[in-house]
Amino acid sequence: MKTGKVFLVGAGPGDVGLITVKGMEAIKQAEVILYDRLANPKLLEYATGDCELIYCGKLPDRHILRQENINDLLVEKALAGKIVVRLKGGDPGVFGRVGEEAAALALYQIPFEIVPGISSGIAAPLYAGIPVTHRDHAESFAVVTAHDKSKEGKPLLDWEGLVRGVDTIAFYMGVGNLPFICENLVNQGKPASTPVILIQWGTFGRQKTLQGTLADISEKVLKAKFTNPAIILVGEVISLREKISWFESKPLYGRQILLARTGESVSGMAQHLMDQGADVIEFPKWKKTVLPVDLKKVSSYDKILFTSPESVGEFFSAVFENGVDIRKIHADFFGASTKSVKALNDRGFIAQLAEEMPETGNLLIVGDDSILRRNSENANLMVTSKKELDFQFLPIFKRMLEEADGNTMVFPSSASVEPFIEALRESDIDTVELLKDLQVVSMGKQTMAAVEAAGLPSHGMPEKATKEALVDYLAGHLIKDV
């Protein structure tokens, strides 16, 4: 059997847009991905549907997989001929133990590549409005581990060298050792008034910061119950934050949104919300199997209704693959949503929404197997694909919920409500309990009616069912205490 290959990939600090092009290409071709806690799980959605996902997450008080087990798994999967991605938060060469993993692969002569990533020690400060160097404030920068592998976990560092030779210091994952860090820096001559900032979950929408000085930051952390994962930044350059903070000025900064999903890929709405500063968890994750279709009678219909953008692509792919001349299809095209209409428009067809469809004429409804559940006495059905819950993502979703502090729920369509509830049931999560403290927003009257009919809390809707109107609504309505 041919040996596979391993890519040791830096996932970046959290914002999925910060992964490198090469890192994303590795994810898309992977057959196995071993991923860490600090690698944004949303990156896994770019993997193929049959990719094996293995969680290697580590917490201070427990290890899911120990490093030696991770090394063994990388070797085992590669020797089985697989393309393997080891997905690590930040940059794999910065406290990522990539050297140990690469050495294990080299021992078995397994080909591998190391793909750098953006390190949290640089990215998190920038998202907080702080460049780690500045010619007026800081000409040097150091990244430092804030704990070691000793029993006490106190880092053995050249404290005198750090104070004398470095202007800006980024300590990684050091909240528990913060008093020890501050004490040693002050003892070696760093002024007690030196600015310090802690940046938790840097570059995520849930990013939080806490600012102080070497003299008072430890007490502030205790009061705020501030925890890892966090970067501790020390240096005068922090003073620039007041002038150039940009990320926290975005309209949806602080919004942690749970978005009900009906499609297989990351939605345009989710991307737009993230661009405006929100954290977005899409649920559920679906996987699809494209089915063969019978196109013999397709030219006999007066109207064709497409239930989703995906069904548009599946239909026309089948038309092409079966050698059907599109000019022989005389039907008027309709979409069940604005996204479906746009998918038709993008292919050069004038299409209208379903509510504008006349009652007369032969109707063909095109969509995935969910259309089999609808009342279609006056229409024929063409099932282009089978959509089912991707059970591999259920534990991933649970971990995402645990890490986040959700405050907003968005239902984009009435068709998203029931699948969302069913998928939560599969995850042993009670929908009402999950949403009881969240601001629940519906996209349109029909969606709100479906939400209320399901017995779920409902708090309003934007003026129009567009992603731009949704951003305006969320920015203008404070998160409710419900």
State the Cα–Cα distance between residues 9 and 166, nearest whole angstrom.
29
Query: Which amino acid belongs to residue 25?
Result: E
Q: In Å, how far are 9, 46, 92, 127, 131 from 116, measured between CA atoms?
A: 6, 19, 6, 20, 20
State the Cα–Cα distance between residues 245 and 447, nearest whole angstrom.
37
Query: Which amino acid belongs to residue 90?
Result: G
Query: Burial level of 12, CB count in 10 A (0-12/13-18/19+)?
Result: buried
Contact residues for 288 (Cβ-Cβ < 8 A; gap 6+): 49, 264, 310, 368, 385, 386, 387, 388
Out of 15, 36, 368, 390, the active site residue is 36
Q: Does 151 qualify as catalytic in the annotation?
A: no
Q: Does 58 qualify as catalytic in the annotation?
A: yes
Q: Which helix (H) or strand (E) holds 316?
A: helix 309-321
Out of 173, 357, 382, 409, the active site residue is 173
Q: What is the CA radius of gyration of the chain?
A: 26
Q: Does 36 qualify as catalytic in the annotation?
A: yes
Q: Residue 230's closest CA among 128, 93, 92?
A: 128
Displacement of CA 348 from its chain's centroid (Å)? 32
ω before 358 within 30° of 0 (cis)?
no
Out of 22, 58, 154, 220, the active site residue is 58
Q: What are the structure tokens assigned to 308, written together?
A: 């989703």
CB 277 within 8 A of CB 252: yes
Displacement of CA 235 from its chain's centroid (Å)? 31
Query: Residue 481: what are its φ and ψ, rounded to 5°?
Result: -90, 100
Q: DSSP for 258-273?
A: EEE--SSS--HHHHHH
Q: DSSP for 172-209?
A: ES-GGGHHHHHHHHHHTT--TT-EEEEEETTTSTT-EE
For the chain, the straight-line distance linking the first and the last C-alpha, in angstroms and rounded, comes to 59
What positions carry a catalytic annotation? 36, 58, 173
